[in-house]
Structure 1
Amino acid sequence: MSVKQTDYTLLARQLDALLDGETDLIANLSNASALLNENLDQINWVGFYLMKNDALILGPFQGKPACVHIEVGRGVCGTAVAENKIQRVADVNAFPGHIACDAASQSEIVVPIHKGDTVIGVLDIDAPITNRFSEADEEGLAKFVEVLEQHLA
């Protein structure tokens, strides 16, 4: 089954317009997750985790109920924060310490979100197929998060 290509340039422009003039973090993350959920093919979860008391806490998302609390350094999300680096995992079952919130998830991409030089959270996207996320997805989602970061109060 092939994955439909996403126009990330258009998606980033849509996000910029959607968030224009709005400073509420929860509202902006809610709309961002909904926008991604509507436009990404072959995904089963998309949302945000936010840093609170030195751990990741579940934020706005689209999909099945999820893990609420993730320690920095644990799982794909915690690793993204610890390394301050995008994690693109072709097969989550091969990722040491993967936290399985939804057994259907087979691949995952996590993009750190910054305020200044500080990681304040992550964008987390799961897919029900292996090898879902390409280098183009990684680059496009990094640009999407850059637009989001510009709207953080």
Structure 2
Amino acid sequence: MRPVTERDIRDSFVNCTKGEARRLAVPRDLATRPWDDLDFLGWRDPASPERAYLVTESGERLVGVALRLATHAGRTRRGMCSLCLTTHPGDGVSLMTARKAGRDGQQGNSVGVYVCTDLACSLYLRGRRQVEIGGRLRESLTLEQQVERTTANVAAFLHKITG
């Protein structure tokens, strides 16, 4: 992913108002992010842990979506991220929902996806972040093919949001 600025991020959101995009918490460490290793930028709001955000390149433009984490209590089983296929114990995978863009979103419609709770899919793929117990399944696909699959999964999720 190419490096992006705070303004780029705020201007990219498709499923929230301009005022909501202006108020959301943007990471302060954008200058030090490992951009070459990121397929998308994802982060959790430190002041509001049930909020998360995902920004990715779609063609020549950035597309950002605001997400909400579903609440779950006492989950002890394993989960698999629908984007990067990393397995995590406990709450390492969360259901995140996004309000749909446009009129559908204004009517309260949303879509959901199970994703790594820390949104670090790109780093798990590349072995730059490890899951304490379990983790990446052995695959016959190359890293490039796994990255292509992950970006296709992200694009399919965004398509459900934007229509």
TM-score of the two chains, using structure 2 as the length reference: 0.27
**Structure whose CA Rg is larger:** 2
TM-score of the two chains, using structure 1 as the length reference: 0.29
